[in-house]
Amino acid sequence: MRFPRASGILLHPTSLPGRYGIGDLGDSAYRFVDYLVSAEQSLWQILPLGPTIIYDSPYQTLSAFAGNPNLISLDKLAANGWLEPRDLADAPAFPEQVVRYGDVIAYHEQKLDLAFERFRTRADPSAKAAFEAWCARNSAWLHDFALFAALKARHGGAEWTKWSRETAQPSPAQREALRKEYRVQVESHMFRQWLFYTQWAELKAYANSKGVQFIGDIPIFVSHDSADVWANPHLFQLDPSTGAPKVVAGVPPDFFNPTDGQLWGNPHYDWQAMEADGYAWWIARLRTTLEVVDRVRIDHFRGFEAYWEIPGNANTARNGRWVKGPDAKLFEAFERALGKLPIIAEDLGIITPEVIALRDRFDLPGMKVLQFAFGDDPYSVNTFLPHFYVQNCVVYTGTHDNNTTVGWWRTEATEGARRHLRDYIGHDVQEPHWDLIRLGMNSVADTFIVPMQDVLGLDESARMNKPGYKGGYWSWRVTERQLEDRARERLARQTRLSARSPSGRAAQG
């Protein structure tokens, strides 16, 4: 699907300012929408919104459908009466520029438990009816997720393959009995999801009313320790006796890890089983995502054409093999069910002509990353260079997996890459982030996205993630003071100059 010429900022909601240790869906999110509007941006790109479980990564979550309860605004709960202002007076002095997930999760869980208890004992009939109606509309995934979350808590957070057999692999009758046994705990998780989705819908309505659209993110794979795998083991390649993955996902040695590759550990789908029921699980996943965002980036798009299959007991991703995926059959099923797809294909990495053909067959924009454009050979055919772009693509200075542009320039760019960029733009590089912003903004690409760190010119200490490395990432936060930086005005002017402002008019002079 082609998109109008526009630009936006990449910032995950966890990176927003706020007094409770993590960004949330409260006032700071609405202020960021206003920031985007004043900077003449019309797109807000985010990362996956699910409840995180391992290394705090939004790409490893308890569910492909559920929302992250840590994003629920506690202040909005107080405004709605589920909490009282005095309940939040004990908020610790959380750090301003980083998320300390352990402390944050403990605090938020305590307050969400209190809100649930108030709801159970004080909610009027209209509130309870709204809750029950929402649960009914989302029953296809909600009941399994809530039971899974309750059982996981009952087992001290252990992976589901370590639970008792009647909870790890319950029959339909056992599952129903477990729902009754853990009825209150199950309802508490359903309550959290209702709060998350209600607050998100309110934020999205506000953003859309201001002319701002959300770009969401679907990781191609799901976590093994998730409600998706636990509730649907027949859709994944698992050992039937233990539930362990027979084969797992990753990529061979690459730019980010040239020695071992990236061992992600996600179980691979049983694509034959998925095809047999018309890809119903995937269609439901995409439909649910498109209810909360306006466009969606599919991470690791190339895995639909062929994916890297690694033995389940491997320690690195080196010894894998390429296996054919569902290819066009999945996207044909998407279009039959959902119509024309507002999808961005993350087509980075080892891209073959077959992957390009799949992307182009469905008119999906691919991705261009400017940090990858400049190297030691300035005369090579590098399709990340702006003069090779087509209109139907999305260009980034860098993604959430890259260093910040200032960090890249300081610590990663070779002397050849530095010389290449200087020659390409025709002057010495004083502000590498603004040089890449101008290149992306002025390109023919329909869409340009810049991470918030690059708008502010932050160094490598603000990096969001480093693929293949575990721990210490996903924690960066922007501060209120940084959002008052004059970079907003500079970004607005560059947006007007490149004809990407919502008005669609280029500035004159």
Question: Is 241 part of a structural domain of the chain?
Answer: no
Percent of the chain with pLDDT over 90: 94
Tell me what pLDDT residue 470 has: 76
The residues that are catalytic are 299, 346, 401
- List, in sequence order, every residue forming a beta bridge with 262; answer none if it has no partner: 251
| pLDDT tier at 187, thresholds 50, 70, 90 | very high
Neighbours of 197 (CB within 10 A): 20
In this structure, what are the phi and psi dihedrals at residue 281, rounded to the nearest 5 degrees? -65, -45
- Supply the mean pLDDT for the chain: 96
Provide the residue type at 381 as one letter: V
Structure tokens at 501: 């402002």
Instruction: Tally Cβ neighbours within 10 Å of residue 472.
Output: 11
| Residue in 223, 237, 254 with CA at minimum distance from that of residue 372 | 254
The SS3 call for residue 116 is: helix
Please give the pLDDT value at position 54. Answer: 76
Residue 467, pLDDT above cutoff 80: yes
Least confident range from 76-90, 251-265, 376-390: namely: 251-265
CATH number for the domain spanning 177: value is 3.20.20.80
In the predicted model, what is the mean pLDDT of residues 483-505? Answer: 92
The domain of 147 spans: 1-197+205-214+479-509
- Give domain status of residue 250, yes or no: no
CA 183 to chain centre: 31
Q: Between 253 and 365, whose confidence is greater?
A: 365
CB 433 within 8 A of CB 406: yes
pLDDT tier, 255 (very low <50, low <70, confident <90, very high otherwise) = confident
On whether residue 360 sits in a domain, the answer given is no
The C-alpha atoms of residue 498 and residue 507 are separated, in whole angstroms, by 8
> CB neighbours (10 Å) of residue 380?
9
Quote the CA–CA distance of 439 and 454 in Å, as a whole number: 13
> How do residues 307-344 score in pLDDT, each as one tens digit?
999 999 999 999 999 999 999 999 999 999 999 999 99
Local confidence band at 504 (pLDDT 50, 70, 90 cut-offs): low
Domain count of the fold of the chain: 1
Which tens digit of pLDDT belongs to each residue from 400-414? 999 999 999 999 999
Look at residue 314 in the predicted model and tell me its pLDDT.
Answer: 95
Tell me if 392 is assigned to some domain. Answer: no
Query: Is residue 353 a part of any domain in this protein?
Result: no
Check if the beta carbon of residue 506 is closer than 8 Å to that of residue 498.
Answer: yes
Distance CA(194)–CA(221), nearest Å, equals 25
257 has a pLDDT exceeding 90: no
Specify if 190 maps to a domain: yes
Judging by DSSP bridges, how do beta strands 262-267 and 247-251 pair with one another?
A: antiparallel
> Mean pLDDT throughout 195-224?
98
**Conformational region of residue 349, where left means phi above 0, alpha means psi within -120 to 50, and beta covers everything else:** left
Give a yes or no: residue 226 inside a domain. Answer: no
Q: How distant is the alpha carbon of residue 27 from its chain centre?
A: 21
Give the pLDDT confidence score for residue 465 in this predicted structure.
96
Q: Is residue 102 part of a domain?
A: yes
Which residue type, as a one-letter code, is found at position 215? I
Distance separating alpha carbons of residues 436 and 396, to the nearest angstrom:
9
Tell me which residue of 22, 65, 111 sits closest to 474, measured CA to CA: 22
